[in-house]
Amino acid sequence: MREKALFVPGPAAERMRSAAPPRRREAIAEKSARAQELAARLARAYPQIECPLAHENAFQLLAAVILSAQCTDAAVNKVTPELFRRFPTPLALSRAPLAAIESIIRTLGLFRAKARSLKRCAEQLVREFDGVVPATMAELTRLAGVGRKTANVMLGHAFNTPCIAVDTHCKRLANRLGLTRQQDPVKIERELARLLPPAQWTGFSHRLIIHGRRICNARKPACARCELASLCPSSQAEPK
Protein backbone atom coordinates (compact mmCIF):
# COMPACT_ATOMS: atom_id res chain seq x y z
CA MET A 1 0.00 0.00 0.00
CA ARG A 2 1.36 3.44 -0.89
CA GLU A 3 2.33 5.79 1.87
CA LYS A 4 0.16 8.85 2.26
CA ALA A 5 1.62 12.34 2.26
CA LEU A 6 4.83 12.44 4.26
CA PHE A 7 3.95 15.71 5.91
CA VAL A 8 0.45 16.58 7.05
CA PRO A 9 -0.35 20.04 5.63
CA GLY A 10 -2.06 22.68 7.74
CA PRO A 11 -1.23 25.59 10.02
CA ALA A 12 0.32 23.45 12.75
CA ALA A 13 2.43 21.63 10.24
CA GLU A 14 3.59 24.92 8.73
CA ARG A 15 4.55 26.21 12.14
CA MET A 16 6.51 23.04 12.90
CA ARG A 17 8.22 22.78 9.56
CA SER A 18 11.17 24.87 10.67
CA ALA A 19 12.14 22.14 13.15
CA ALA A 20 13.73 20.05 10.43
CA PRO A 21 15.71 20.53 7.23
CA PRO A 22 13.50 21.37 4.23
CA ARG A 23 12.72 18.66 1.74
CA ARG A 24 14.89 19.62 -1.21
CA ARG A 25 17.09 17.89 -3.71
CA GLU A 26 20.43 17.01 -2.14
CA ALA A 27 23.71 16.26 -3.87
CA ILE A 28 24.62 12.61 -3.43
CA ALA A 29 27.63 13.47 -1.23
CA GLU A 30 25.46 15.62 1.03
CA LYS A 31 22.78 12.94 1.28
CA SER A 32 25.41 10.29 1.95
CA ALA A 33 26.88 12.36 4.79
CA ARG A 34 23.41 12.81 6.27
CA ALA A 35 22.72 9.06 5.92
CA GLN A 36 25.94 8.31 7.79
CA GLU A 37 24.98 10.65 10.60
CA LEU A 38 21.53 9.02 10.71
CA ALA A 39 23.24 5.62 10.88
CA ALA A 40 25.46 6.82 13.74
CA ARG A 41 22.50 8.15 15.72
CA LEU A 42 20.54 4.95 15.18
CA ALA A 43 23.54 2.88 16.28
CA ARG A 44 23.69 4.90 19.50
CA ALA A 45 19.96 4.49 20.06
CA TYR A 46 19.93 0.76 19.27
CA PRO A 47 23.38 -0.69 19.91
CA GLN A 48 22.13 -4.28 19.80
CA ILE A 49 20.64 -5.61 16.59
CA GLU A 50 20.11 -9.25 17.35
CA CYS A 51 17.49 -10.91 15.24
CA PRO A 52 14.27 -11.08 17.31
CA LEU A 53 13.33 -14.44 15.78
CA ALA A 54 14.55 -17.27 18.03
CA HIS A 55 16.86 -19.63 16.16
CA GLU A 56 20.00 -21.70 16.61
CA ASN A 57 21.13 -22.17 13.02
CA ALA A 58 20.53 -20.97 9.47
CA PHE A 59 17.82 -23.53 8.78
CA GLN A 60 15.82 -22.49 11.84
CA LEU A 61 16.21 -18.82 10.96
CA LEU A 62 15.03 -19.47 7.42
CA ALA A 63 11.92 -21.28 8.67
CA ALA A 64 11.22 -18.53 11.22
CA VAL A 65 11.54 -15.75 8.64
CA ILE A 66 9.18 -17.58 6.26
CA LEU A 67 6.68 -17.88 9.12
CA SER A 68 7.03 -14.20 10.09
CA ALA A 69 5.28 -12.81 7.00
CA GLN A 70 2.36 -10.65 8.12
CA CYS A 71 2.59 -11.65 11.76
CA THR A 72 4.62 -10.67 14.79
CA ASP A 73 7.99 -12.09 15.76
CA ALA A 74 6.56 -12.94 19.19
CA ALA A 75 3.84 -15.08 17.59
CA VAL A 76 6.45 -16.91 15.51
CA ASN A 77 8.64 -17.50 18.57
CA LYS A 78 5.71 -19.22 20.26
CA VAL A 79 5.38 -21.91 17.59
CA THR A 80 8.95 -22.52 16.44
CA PRO A 81 10.21 -24.41 19.53
CA GLU A 82 7.68 -27.19 18.87
CA LEU A 83 8.28 -27.05 15.11
CA PHE A 84 12.05 -27.41 15.52
CA ARG A 85 11.67 -30.08 18.21
CA ARG A 86 9.51 -32.23 15.95
CA PHE A 87 11.35 -31.44 12.70
CA PRO A 88 14.90 -30.34 13.50
CA THR A 89 16.44 -30.65 10.03
CA PRO A 90 15.47 -29.94 6.41
CA LEU A 91 15.22 -33.70 5.85
CA ALA A 92 12.82 -34.17 8.78
CA LEU A 93 10.70 -31.21 7.69
CA SER A 94 10.63 -32.38 4.08
CA ARG A 95 9.16 -35.70 5.26
CA ALA A 96 6.67 -34.15 7.67
CA PRO A 97 2.97 -34.59 6.89
CA LEU A 98 1.55 -31.22 5.83
CA ALA A 99 -1.23 -31.58 8.42
CA ALA A 100 1.36 -31.93 11.20
CA ILE A 101 3.10 -28.71 10.19
CA GLU A 102 -0.25 -26.92 9.90
CA SER A 103 -1.31 -28.04 13.33
CA ILE A 104 1.88 -26.65 14.93
CA ILE A 105 1.70 -23.25 13.19
CA ARG A 106 -2.08 -22.83 13.04
CA THR A 107 -2.05 -19.76 15.34
CA LEU A 108 -0.21 -17.81 12.63
CA GLY A 109 -1.95 -15.98 9.81
CA LEU A 110 -1.80 -17.72 6.42
CA PHE A 111 -0.74 -20.90 8.20
CA ARG A 112 -1.79 -23.24 5.39
CA ALA A 113 0.23 -21.39 2.75
CA LYS A 114 3.17 -21.08 5.14
CA ALA A 115 3.07 -24.82 5.92
CA ARG A 116 3.20 -25.57 2.20
CA SER A 117 6.12 -23.15 1.72
CA LEU A 118 8.04 -24.65 4.64
CA LYS A 119 7.63 -28.17 3.33
CA ARG A 120 8.51 -27.27 -0.26
CA CYS A 121 11.48 -25.21 0.91
CA ALA A 122 12.76 -28.13 3.00
CA GLU A 123 12.33 -30.46 0.00
CA GLN A 124 14.35 -28.08 -2.16
CA LEU A 125 17.08 -27.81 0.47
CA VAL A 126 17.39 -31.60 0.57
CA ARG A 127 17.15 -32.10 -3.19
CA GLU A 128 19.22 -29.20 -4.48
CA PHE A 129 21.53 -28.15 -1.62
CA ASP A 130 22.33 -31.35 0.32
CA GLY A 131 20.23 -30.09 3.21
CA VAL A 132 22.36 -26.95 3.67
CA VAL A 133 20.89 -23.44 3.49
CA PRO A 134 22.63 -21.64 0.61
CA ALA A 135 24.39 -18.33 1.24
CA THR A 136 23.76 -16.35 -1.95
CA MET A 137 20.87 -14.14 -3.00
CA ALA A 138 20.39 -16.05 -6.26
CA GLU A 139 20.14 -19.44 -4.54
CA LEU A 140 18.08 -18.27 -1.58
CA THR A 141 15.44 -16.66 -3.80
CA ARG A 142 14.98 -19.95 -5.65
CA LEU A 143 13.56 -21.47 -2.47
CA ALA A 144 9.82 -21.67 -1.85
CA GLY A 145 8.56 -18.87 0.38
CA VAL A 146 11.78 -16.86 0.04
CA GLY A 147 11.63 -13.42 -1.55
CA ARG A 148 14.32 -10.79 -1.68
CA LYS A 149 13.53 -9.41 1.77
CA THR A 150 13.76 -12.85 3.41
CA ALA A 151 16.97 -13.56 1.51
CA ASN A 152 18.45 -10.27 2.74
CA VAL A 153 17.56 -11.12 6.34
CA MET A 154 19.30 -14.48 5.89
CA LEU A 155 22.39 -12.94 4.33
CA GLY A 156 22.69 -10.36 7.10
CA HIS A 157 21.90 -12.48 10.13
CA ALA A 158 22.95 -16.00 9.17
CA PHE A 159 25.88 -15.34 6.84
CA ASN A 160 27.21 -11.96 7.94
CA THR A 161 26.98 -10.65 4.39
CA PRO A 162 26.21 -6.92 4.06
CA CYS A 163 22.62 -6.47 2.94
CA ILE A 164 19.67 -4.11 3.14
CA ALA A 165 16.37 -5.77 4.02
CA VAL A 166 13.55 -3.45 2.93
CA ASP A 167 10.33 -4.20 4.76
CA THR A 168 7.37 -1.87 5.28
CA HIS A 169 9.15 0.04 8.09
CA CYS A 170 12.41 0.46 6.21
CA LYS A 171 10.49 1.66 3.15
CA ARG A 172 8.45 4.19 5.15
CA LEU A 173 11.43 5.58 7.03
CA ALA A 174 13.72 5.79 4.02
CA ASN A 175 11.04 7.95 2.37
CA ARG A 176 10.27 10.07 5.42
CA LEU A 177 13.95 10.66 6.00
CA GLY A 178 14.28 11.84 2.41
CA LEU A 179 16.81 9.14 1.50
CA THR A 180 14.70 7.95 -1.41
CA ARG A 181 11.50 8.77 -3.26
CA GLN A 182 11.10 5.19 -4.47
CA GLN A 183 8.33 2.82 -3.42
CA ASP A 184 9.77 -0.31 -4.98
CA PRO A 185 11.83 -2.25 -2.36
CA VAL A 186 14.54 -3.24 -4.84
CA LYS A 187 15.03 0.38 -5.93
CA ILE A 188 15.06 1.54 -2.30
CA GLU A 189 17.67 -1.10 -1.53
CA ARG A 190 19.85 0.16 -4.39
CA GLU A 191 19.52 3.80 -3.38
CA LEU A 192 20.35 3.14 0.28
CA ALA A 193 23.31 1.03 -0.79
CA ARG A 194 24.75 4.01 -2.69
CA LEU A 195 24.58 6.20 0.42
CA LEU A 196 26.39 4.01 2.94
CA PRO A 197 29.44 1.75 2.95
CA PRO A 198 28.60 -1.99 2.87
CA ALA A 199 29.75 -2.45 6.46
CA GLN A 200 26.80 -0.29 7.57
CA TRP A 201 24.07 -1.81 5.37
CA THR A 202 22.80 -4.58 7.64
CA GLY A 203 22.83 -2.51 10.81
CA PHE A 204 21.26 0.54 9.21
CA SER A 205 18.33 -1.29 7.62
CA HIS A 206 17.75 -3.36 10.75
CA ARG A 207 17.75 -0.24 12.94
CA LEU A 208 15.36 1.57 10.61
CA ILE A 209 12.98 -1.32 11.17
CA ILE A 210 13.34 -1.07 14.96
CA HIS A 211 12.91 2.71 14.82
CA GLY A 212 9.83 2.34 12.65
CA ARG A 213 8.26 0.01 15.18
CA ARG A 214 9.15 2.04 18.26
CA ILE A 215 9.14 5.71 17.21
CA CYS A 216 8.32 6.44 13.57
CA ASN A 217 4.95 4.76 13.58
CA ALA A 218 3.10 4.65 10.26
CA ARG A 219 0.09 6.64 11.48
CA LYS A 220 1.52 8.67 14.32
CA PRO A 221 5.28 9.25 14.24
CA ALA A 222 6.62 10.36 17.62
CA CYS A 223 8.78 13.14 16.18
CA ALA A 224 9.05 14.97 19.51
CA ARG A 225 11.13 12.13 20.98
CA CYS A 226 12.91 11.07 17.79
CA GLU A 227 16.74 11.22 17.78
CA LEU A 228 16.65 11.77 14.02
CA ALA A 229 14.32 14.79 13.99
CA SER A 230 16.96 17.43 13.25
CA LEU A 231 18.01 15.47 10.16
CA CYS A 232 14.54 14.50 9.00
CA PRO A 233 12.67 16.57 6.40
CA SER A 234 9.37 15.03 7.52
CA SER A 235 9.80 15.91 11.19
CA GLN A 236 6.86 17.49 12.91
CA ALA A 237 8.83 18.17 16.09
CA GLU A 238 8.82 21.64 17.57
CA PRO A 239 12.11 23.53 17.10
CA LYS A 240 14.43 23.21 20.12
Report the interface residues with ligand SF4, using CB under 6 A: 173, 176-177, 215-216, 221-223, 226, 228-229, 232, 234-235, 237
- Hey, which residues are catalytic here? 149, 167
Whole-number minimum distance, CB 213 to ligand SF4, in Å?
12
Residue 234 CA to chain centroid, in angstroms?
Answer: 21
Whole-number minimum distance, CB 236 to ligand SF4, in Å?
6
User: Which of 9-18's residues contact partners 24+ apart within 8 Å by CB, and which partners?
Assistant: 13/236, 16/235, 16/236, 16/237, 16/238, 16/239, 18/239
Smaller CB distance to ligand SF4: residue 43 or 144?
43
User: What share of residues in the chain are helix, strand, coil (percent, to 5)?
Assistant: 60, 0, 40
Contact (CB, 8 A) for 198 and 192: no
Residues with Cβ within 8 Å of residue 111, at least 6 apart in sequence: 102, 105
Whole-number minimum distance, CB 154 to ligand SF4, in Å?
27
Smaller CB distance to ligand SF4: residue 105 or 215?
215
- CA distances in angstroms from 235 to 38, 81, 230, 238, listed in the order given: 14, 41, 8, 9
Whole-number minimum distance, CB 68 to ligand SF4, in Å?
23
Of residues 231, 190, 172, 140, the one with CA closest to residue 5: 172
Whole-number minimum distance, CB 201 to ligand SF4, in Å?
19
Contact (CB, 8 A) for 83 and 101: yes
Smaller CB distance to ligand SF4: residue 43 or 58?
43
DSSP code of residue 47: -
Smaller CB distance to ligand SF4: residue 121 or 229?
229
How far is it, in rounded angstroms, from Cα 196 to Cα 40?
A: 11
Residue 218 phi/psi, 5-degree rounding, is -60, -45
Smaller CB distance to ligand SF4: residue 23 or 78?
23
